[in-house]
Chain A
């Protein structure tokens, strides 16, 4: 009895704690600032798309949206490609090299990526990779490689060995086995890892903050930060921008919930 009541109460509290802020943001996108301040949870007096119009007209959300999309897409694509190749090679190598390589990449799991901000910045200044989307993509690949290789290696190791041995007998080389057997089999794992990587790249703040100063190269998190005014923040505009920035994640969450949750938790468990 006591358990059931407290269970319900606590679940309700957490549910409210998630629903209320989300509703404030969603409703706020249709309101004027003053309405957000006075009645954050009420339905807007007039459902108006003015905020979205203003946001688009000011032109400071379309470009960062595009930039974020480019950076996230290419980072995920190349990381998955490079990591899966390495992971497959490591999982097929019974020799010392495989173990050494695995250990080498595991080292990257122990060192937080944030530690490298200064050397990466100085290196990228030298290489003229600041204010460049390519630079951001390279950083993302480097940071997410260890965890991706870790997740994918454990996955490849769990696949039945016989399949690869048979392919070997039939004369397929390492690359051929990877492309024709391992890759098709690993689609769920790659999907989950890909979503996990996409979230990281889409949301990253630290590296863009340091590497990007030109406004036409900014990504969404940087743009959101800019909405926080020096003295006063226009929350109607901020909420609208947050809404726009969250749309891809929300869509992915709705349509690919299983892989989404699997990816985000695999990243945590394996990391």
Chain B
């Protein structure tokens, strides 16, 4: 009964993943005959490709900002919305709403909001006299990556709030009641009950968000296509451009092998640190 799944999975998932390894050792434009170059692609990626280094750094920056802020916001809003009141249930529904939009829609809506001339953000800033803050959000290389990060956070925080809510609702109410009796402040309750008890959920949210940011493609493609001057280029957009813009299939495959390694290493580190942390409490 598992046969159809195994067949499709092997043919369209495992086989491509393995042939990807093979392509990564070749120099190939997709037309002429592929040329075996051994580990040359990786050597070049590691030592001489400054652009790729910049892009990997971009991706780490992007992930760092999104993971920290999105986790913080979603934990905060989940705590705010924990009680099942009507208002809270409505707000949960509202906050989840961006998640159901397609990433392309989100990217294009934010492109409008960010437009320096008539976009809503700059228009509002100018209206309240903050002309200095009316930046070229997407066309200035200093801000483009972070502007996309904001859109990404807007897009997915609602989903993470729901995950946190599920985790927080597992915490026994008696703990808080006992803390109340002992006269613990809100901050102490958060510090000593909510945070440690929610740590497994935090691990899930952080791991998921991290992988999501290293897979990110759609928002960048819809908003800046990596520009200006590769300032918002991420690993997957660069793989795509390398293969389907520059027709360097072998080299692009090598980049995607690097992506796998990066993702696996980060996941591994996170699992270790967050688990150790959890166990020690």
Question: Which residues on A are within 8 Å of B, measured CB to CB?
Answer: 3, 7, 10-11, 14-15, 17-22, 24-25, 37-38, 40-41, 82-83, 85-86, 88-90, 101, 104-105, 107-108, 110-123, 138-139, 141-143, 145-146, 149, 174-175, 178, 199, 202-203, 205-206, 209-210, 220-221, 224-225, 227-228, 233, 235, 238, 242, 245-246, 249-250, 252-253, 257, 260-261, 264-265, 268-269, 271
**B95 lies within 8 A of chain A by Cβ:** yes
The reply to whether B102 and A265 contact each other, CB–CB distance below 8 Å, is no
Size class of the B contact interface (CB-based, 8 Å):
35 or more
The reply to whether A85 and B2 contact each other, CB–CB distance below 8 Å, is yes
Name the residue on A nearest B73 (C-beta).
Answer: A14
The reply to whether B101 and A89 contact each other, CB–CB distance below 8 Å, is no
Interfacial residues of chain B within 237-275, with CB under 8 A of chain A in the complex: 239-240, 243-244, 249, 252-253, 256-257, 259-260, 263-264, 267
The reply to whether A117 and B19 contact each other, CB–CB distance below 8 Å, is no
The reply to whether A242 and B5 contact each other, CB–CB distance below 8 Å, is no
Supposing A115-B259, A224-B105 touch, asked if A146 and B186 sit within 8 A by C-beta, the answer is no
Instruction: Tell me how far the C-beta of A4 lies from the nearest C-beta in chain B, rounded to whole angstroms.
Output: 10
| B166 / chain A contacts, CB cutoff of 8 Å | 265, 269
Supposing A205-B104, A205-B217 touch, asked if A121 and B243 sit within 8 A by C-beta, the answer is yes
Supposing A7-B80, A18-B98 touch, asked if A112 and B5 sit within 8 A by C-beta, the answer is no
Instruction: Tell me how far the C-beta of A229 lies from the nearest C-beta in chain B, rounded to whole angstroms.
Output: 11
The reply to whether A224 and B102 contact each other, CB–CB distance below 8 Å, is yes
| B197 / chain A contacts, CB cutoff of 8 Å | none
The reply to whether B97 and A22 contact each other, CB–CB distance below 8 Å, is yes
Contact of B211 among A88, A112, A138, A227 (CB under 8 A): A112
**B100 lies within 8 A of chain A by Cβ:** yes
Q: Is the interface of A mostly helix, strand, loop or mixed?
A: helix
Contact of B108 among A143, A238, A257, A264 (CB under 8 A): A238
Contact of A203 among B20, B103, B159 (CB under 8 A): B103
A39 to B158, CA, bound (A): 28
A-B contacts besides A21-B110, A110-B264, A245-B105, 14 pairs, CB < 8 Å = A10-B76, A11-B81, A37-B117, A82-B4, A115-B257, A117-B239, A118-B23, A123-B12, A138-B8, A224-B108, A242-B101, A253-B100, A261-B96, A269-B204
Instruction: Tell me how far the C-beta of B97 lies from the nearest C-beta in chain A, rounded to whole angstroms.
Output: 6
The reply to whether A145 and B80 contact each other, CB–CB distance below 8 Å, is no
Name the residue on A nearest B257 (C-beta).
Answer: A115
The reply to whether B249 and A118 contact each other, CB–CB distance below 8 Å, is yes
Name the residue on A nearest B18 (C-beta).
Answer: A119
A139 to B54, CA, bound (A): 31
Instruction: Tell me how far the C-beta of A243 lies from the nearest C-beta in chain B, rounded to whole angstroms.
Output: 9
A188 to B56, CA, bound (A): 41
| A22 / chain B contacts, CB cutoff of 8 Å | 97
